Amino acid sequence: MNSPETSPAQPAHESINSQSKAATERSTELAKNRENNQKLGSERENTIDVARKAVAREAIAGKERVVSEKKSSKEPPFMPSRSNKNHRLESYKNTLSNIQVDMGKTSRTMSRIIHNPAIETASIVVGSTIARPRTIIYSSFTALVSVSLLYIAAKYFGYTLSGSETIATFLLGWLIGIVYETVTSVLRH
C-alpha cells in the first residue's frame, strides 16, 4: 500500500523523509502559534488588570463623592407630591421634545398643536363627557341601522331622502348611549 504522497517509482525511505520533514515544519508552526497565543494572553491579562484598577479607582472616588455630598446636603430627604408632579411634568416635556425631534416637519407641527396644554385639557374634558367611546359606538350603530331601514323604506314607497337623516339618527343614538351609561353607572353604585 502506498501513501498518497508516494508514487510507485519513489523509494519508501524518501517517503518517510518527506513525511518527517512535513511533521517537523508543522511542529515548528505550532510552536510559533503557541508563543503568539501566550503573548496575546499576557496582553489581554494586562488590559484586564488595567481596566480593573481603573474601575476600582472610580468606585473609590464615587464613594468619596457620595459621602461628601451627604455631609454638605441639608435638604429634606423627601418632597411630597408637588415635586413628583413637577418631576413628571418635566419628564413628560423632555420625552415629548425628544420624540418630536425625530418627526417630520408636518408631524412635529401637528404634535405641538395637539400637545398644547389648552388643547390637551379640552380634549380630555370632551373625551370624558360628550365623546365617550361607548356613546360614539351606540350612535354609530343606531345611525347605520336607522338610515339603512329608512333608505329601504324610502326606496320601496318612492320617497326621496333629504340627507339629514344620518345626522339625526347619529344624535338619537348618542342620546340613547348617554342615557344608557348614566343609568348603568347609577345602578352600579
Say what the pLDDT of residue 149 is. Answer: 95
Say what the pLDDT of residue 11 is. Answer: 61
Q: With a cut of 70, which residues of the chain have pLDDT below it? A: 1-14, 41, 59-82
> CB atoms < 10 A from the CB of 138, how many?
22
Residue 169 near residue 143 (C-beta atoms within 8 A): yes
Domain boundaries, the chain: 12-73, 82-129, 132-189
Rounded to whole angstroms, the Cα distance separating 108 from 120 reads 16
C-alpha cell at 82: 408637588
Rounded to whole angstroms, the Cα distance separating 172 from 145 reads 12
- CA dihedral (32, 38, 44, 47) positive or negative: negative
Residue 111 near residue 103 (C-beta atoms within 8 A): yes
- Span 119-130, pLDDT tens digits: 989 988 888 888
Rounded to whole angstroms, the Cα distance separating 179 from 189 reads 16
